[in-house]
Copies of this chain bind each other. A is one copy, B any other.
């Protein structure tokens, strides 16, 4: 692990043991946790904002769960749904999740957009696409999907998930949590079933 990565890892450890929103990611605390001097830390992260952005970017990289996507004993649609469901709102936290989703886009794309928010959103966007490609490539290798259709299928699923988030905010009585999950399940069945002639290969 590079020194830079060690510092980020230390900051993430500090963030994990903190109360939400109260992580002590001061230069001094992070340097102590990483076992480096403040000047070393400043060499890699000239400002606290640089450090915070690096931590946020790294968190995005590790937040997506592959669950049992590689478990070929299970139905492909079930595994893919389980993976996609982590992008959907939950009963317990729906309002907060949708507000976070919208304000993330607002800060990145809105009138008073900030460059750091834009970079975080773009990074999260890329990481999500990469995950979808990884999952669909696995299913294609098992013969459940035409390998040449991994890319449009990934785009179809990601645009569906983001469209569902937006519609959950616009029309919360129609696009309920259950409706959102059912819709993704339905779309996955459609996208995988069109390849069914080959799915037993």
Q: Which residues of A contact B (CB under 8 A)?
A: 102-103, 105-106, 108-111, 121-122, 125, 152, 155-156, 158-164, 166-167, 169-171, 182-183, 186-187, 190-191, 193-194
Q: SS class of chain A's interface: helix, strand, loop or mixed?
A: helix
With CB as the reference atom, state the residue of chain B lying closest to A169: B109
Contacts of A170 in B (CB 8 A): 105, 108-109, 121-122, 125
Q: A110-B106, A194-B190, A194-B193 known; A167 and B158 CB under 8 Å?
A: yes
Contacts of A193 in B (CB 8 A): 194
Q: Find the residue from A110, A155, A191 having the highest chain B CB count within 10 A.
A: A155
What is the CB-to-nearest-CB distance from A189 to chain B, in angstroms, rounded to a whole number? 9
27 of the cross-chain contacts (CB-CB < 8 Å) are A102-B109, A106-B111, A108-B170, A110-B110, A122-B170, A152-B182, A152-B186, A152-B187, A156-B160, A156-B186, A156-B190, A158-B163, A159-B159, A159-B160, A159-B162, A159-B164, A159-B166, A159-B183, A161-B163, A162-B162, A162-B163, A162-B167, A163-B163, A166-B166, A190-B190, A190-B191, A193-B194
